[in-house]
């Protein structure tokens, strides 16, 4: 039970995202408490308590419930449990209370001061999201890494069925099938615990692809056992043999930093 609760706390930390998120979370909690007492004092706010405060409390009771996490969260939302916290009306509740406070003042000057103070508090406590750390210039009209498009075009140009499996470097996993759905991957985002579980072979292959020097015997044995036709490597970050024929694969194509090998003889 304690382990489940600590897992919930870890997911909560992922949700709030650090000190800034914690500050906004405190504003949200303060707003919920204020709405509760406002509903007791003002008749017109009773509906707000009914449709905003009580549902919020109910969601919190479920999300922070170790039993709910053990039997529902860990089974159906493994790796993405923190996203369930999006059900909480954090921004809406804080905005509602700010607007309520502004409207309570009759003098226009005081209203402006209260509004500016609220907006300033939120803005100054936040971070600049439109920065080079989070935004980069798009390389193409798809707004995906150009390398992913080039590799995908090569794989699709082989003229094989989409059911044919491929293994690509980890940095391309989330982009290949965003560009082309006619390419089958041995594993995708699910390797990180998202969406669905994966088998032992997928885990072992992923672990090898994370290595600077993958064990090609392990990689190719798993690949051949699971009918993986294409193996793609980043030759600038991974040490790969000059000749893959002893492992049952031959050189097929390359583009930029990526070299692709195909199952069988040339």
Tens of pLDDT, residues 107-147: 888 888 888 888 888 777 777 777 777 777 888 999 999 99
- Please report the sign of the dihedral spanned by the C-alpha atoms of residue 233, residue 196, residue 10, residue 135: positive
- Calculate helix-pair angle for 200-209, 216-225, nearest 10 degrees: 140
pLDDT in tens, 211-243: 999 999 999 999 999 999 999 999 999 999 989
Q: What is the distance between the alpha carbons of residues 185 and 1, in angstroms, rounded to a whole number?
A: 37
**Region for 264 from its dihedrals, namely left if φ exceeds 0, alpha if ψ lies in -120 to 50, beta otherwise:** left
Quick one: pLDDT at residue 86?
A: 93
Number of C-beta neighbours around residue 121 at 10 A: 14
Average pLDDT over residues 157-175: 85
Quick one: pLDDT at residue 162?
A: 67
The distance in angstroms from the start CA to the end CA of the chain is: 57
Q: How far is CA 24 from CA 35, 60, 74, 203, in A?
A: 16, 16, 27, 38
pLDDT in tens, 151-162: 999 998 877 776
Name the range with the highest mean pLDDT among 29-33, 44-48, 190-194: 29-33
Q: What is the distance between the alpha carbons of residues 246 and 18, in angstroms, rounded to a whole number?
A: 50
**Region for 253 from its dihedrals, namely left if φ exceeds 0, alpha if ψ lies in -120 to 50, beta otherwise:** beta
Q: What is the distance between the alpha carbons of residues 64 and 44, in angstroms, rounded to a whole number?
A: 31
């Amino acid at each position: 039970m304690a382990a489940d609760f600590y897992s919930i706390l870890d997911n909560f930390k992922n949700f709030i995202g650090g000190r800034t998120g914690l500050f906004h979370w405190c504003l949200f909690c303060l707003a919920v408490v204020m709405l509760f007492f406002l509903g007791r004092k003002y008749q017109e706010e009773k509906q707000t308590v009914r449709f905003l405060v009580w549902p919020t409390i109910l969601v919190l009771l479920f999300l922070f419930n170790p039993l709910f996490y053990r039997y529902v969260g860990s089974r159906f939302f493994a790796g993405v449990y923190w996203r369930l916290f999006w059900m909480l009306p954090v921004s809406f509740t804080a905005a509602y209370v700010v607007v309520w406070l502004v409207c309570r003042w009759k003098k226009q000057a005081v209203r402006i001061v209260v509004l500016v103070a609220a907006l300033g508090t939120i803005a100054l406590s936040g971070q600049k999201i439109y920065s080079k750390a989070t935004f980069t210039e798009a390389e193409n009209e798809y707004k995906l890494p150009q390398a992913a498009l080039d590799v995908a075009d090569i794989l699709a140009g082989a003229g094989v069925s989409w059911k044919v499996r491929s293994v690509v470097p980890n940095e391309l996993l989330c982009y290949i099938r965003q560009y082309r759905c006619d390419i089958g991957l041995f594993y995708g985002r699910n390797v990180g615990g998202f969406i669905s579980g994966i088998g032992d072979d997928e885990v072992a292959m992923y672990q090898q692809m994370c290595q600077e020097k993958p064990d090609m015997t392990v990689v190719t044995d798993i690949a051949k056992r699971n009918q993986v036709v294409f193996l793609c490597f980043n030759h600038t970050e991974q040490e790969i043999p000059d000749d893959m024929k002893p492992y049952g694969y031959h050189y097929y194509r390359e583009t930029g930093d990526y070299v692709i090998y195909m199952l069988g003889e040339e």
